Structure 1
Amino acid sequence: MPAYKRKIYLKDETFDPIYKTVNSGFYFKSRVLPGLLLATGFLILGTQVVYPLVYFKTQDEISKPAASSVLGIASGFSDFEFSELNTSSEKNEGSADLPQFFYLTIPKLKIDKALVETNAPTLKPDTALGHYTGSGLPGEVGNTFIYGHSVLPWFYNPKNYKTIFSTLGDLSAGDILNIKYNDKELTYKVEGLEILPTDKVNPLAEYKPKYLNESTITLMTCWPAGTKAKRLIVKAVMVE
């Protein structure tokens, strides 16, 4: 009968991580590097998503004009203005009791009594929506041209003028706009939307011929929301 031979097991440290020799390079790749990548990810998430979201959601400027500030952290539109509208220097005097502001309400977008500055002196509507100088006045025959900012839709806050028109593209034919002008309550109905290149926007163009004796409104913002590529135009006509 052959003699029993005891088996001897050899540890292969090449493939067994338990017995693998720990050195600085291995430790850095397995512990330090993943930690750094994770920390960087949280930093980017916090500064580029969470902070802008909280900022825009909590900045309520709808009730009063405020000091001008940066248009939007997330959008990158620092000090942005609608420079393509710089075509008019004549004010529309209209009625003798021309107010400094009037109010726009869009129930579908939860915009309530947003300030619109009459004959706005700036093309940067950071503290109120802008009524384009020289365009028509609400309730009168002609077209009232109103412009405002937009950013990426998830930063939308209907009480912040830096984001107020971010969901303007959600409007459709039949939606209602309300204007309060000199204590008059005016109702407009959306008839359509249009997307135009920036060089095709004419803020003084009439939406409908004046011989029809109709009062119309045009709302304008950047499109797609969060970019400056084109302009979204919303057209509405006053209803009885």
Structure 2
Amino acid sequence: MGKYYYKKADKFSRKKILRLLSLLILFMGIAVVFYIFYPLVSWQIYFAPALASSKIQAPIPKSMVINPSTIGSLISQAGNSLSGVDYTNAKNWFPGFNPATAEQPKIPSYTISIPKLKINSATVSTRDNNLAIHLVNYQNTAIPPDNGTAVIFGHSTLPQLFNPNDYKTIFATAYQLRMGDEIYANVNGVSYKYKIFNISIVEPSDISIFEQDYSNSYLTLVTCTPPGTTWKRLIIKAKLEKI
């Protein structure tokens, strides 16, 4: 009588392993595509309608939504994030801007308050670029209430994570600001009221935001947009009201 042998089935056969690897690669591909195109999707769903309903000077026009330049910008933004660009350093926000070394400002810091966003006495440093621990008054730009334009950088993230006391999320809801809203700068114990008169969105390559206008005292708030991405820059300009 012949002998019969039973071979136990291999639960992890080569075919199953290849199938699992294929699924893993597929999910990774979907994740990468989502990561790259999330800014465009979030812009269209959440932020474009809000900005379009207001008199924003330069929201992203429809002609820019889908074109080779936009796709290239999205891929570049994703590449910068994946490559580990440190966006807690304000100097990395506008790579094409390299200001000359300036004299150390007379005051090391001041504070700003934005009632509409429930931001109260947020510290603005004039001497370093660490956005993780305070806002940054960019070097070689004016300091309130001097004539000129104080360019103030602040972090943003997903609006759901907004915390007015956390400098990594402090400007997450800045897109809610509108013309006529007020910003207060407190310098050496004196409070100065600024009123927003212009809101725009620019590319990280647009360094015109650093230009100085000495006809009055101005504030320019700068943060990334859409919140949670580093795709573009939201620019909010305010002018000093008469003291």
TM-score, shorter chain, exceeding 0.5: yes
Q: Which deviations, in whole Å up to 9, do the C-alpha atoms of 1:187-216 show, x marking residues without a partner?
A: 00000210000001335312x4x3xx3100
Extract unaligned runs of 5+ from structure 1.
Answer: 1-74
C-alpha displacement of 1:89:
3.6
Contact 1:92 / 1:133 at 8 angstroms: preserved in 2?
no
The counterpart of 1:150, out of the listed 152, 156, 174, is 156
Query: What's the counterpart of residue 191 of structure 1?
Result: 197
**3-state DSSP of counterpart to 1:108:** helix
Contact 1:102 / 1:180 at 8 angstroms: preserved in 2?
yes
Q: Does 1:160 align with 2:166?
A: yes
The separation in 2 between residues aligned to 1:89 and 1:121, in whole angstroms, is 15
The counterpart of 2:102, out of the listed 68, 91, 103, is 91
Matches within 5 A, 1:168-183: 168-183=174-189
User: Under a length normalisation based on structure 2, what TM-score does the superposition of the two structures give?
Assistant: 0.60
Q: Write out the 4+ residue segments of structure 1 that deviate beyond 3 Å after TM superposition.
A: 75-79
**3-state DSSP of counterpart to 2:210:** coil
**3-state DSSP of counterpart to 1:154:** helix
C-alpha displacement of 1:183:
1.7
C-alpha displacement of 1:92:
5.2
- Aligned partner letter, 1:227: T
Bigger Rg over Cα: 1
- Percent identity reads 32
Matches within 5 A, 1:1-240: 79-80=86-87, 81-82=89-90, 83=92, 84=94, 86-91=97-102, 98-118=106-126, 120-122=127-129, 124-206=130-212, 208=213, 210=214, 213-240=215-242
RMSD: 2.2
The separation in 2 between residues aligned to 1:109 and 1:172, in whole angstroms, is 11
Q: Which deviations, in whole Å up to 9, do the C-alpha atoms of 1:60-113 show, x marking residues without a partner?
A: xxxxxxxxxxxxxxx99884234116512422556xxx2211001000000000
Contact 1:132 / 1:203 at 8 angstroms: preserved in 2?
no
Aligned residues: 158
- Aligned partner letter, 2:111: Y
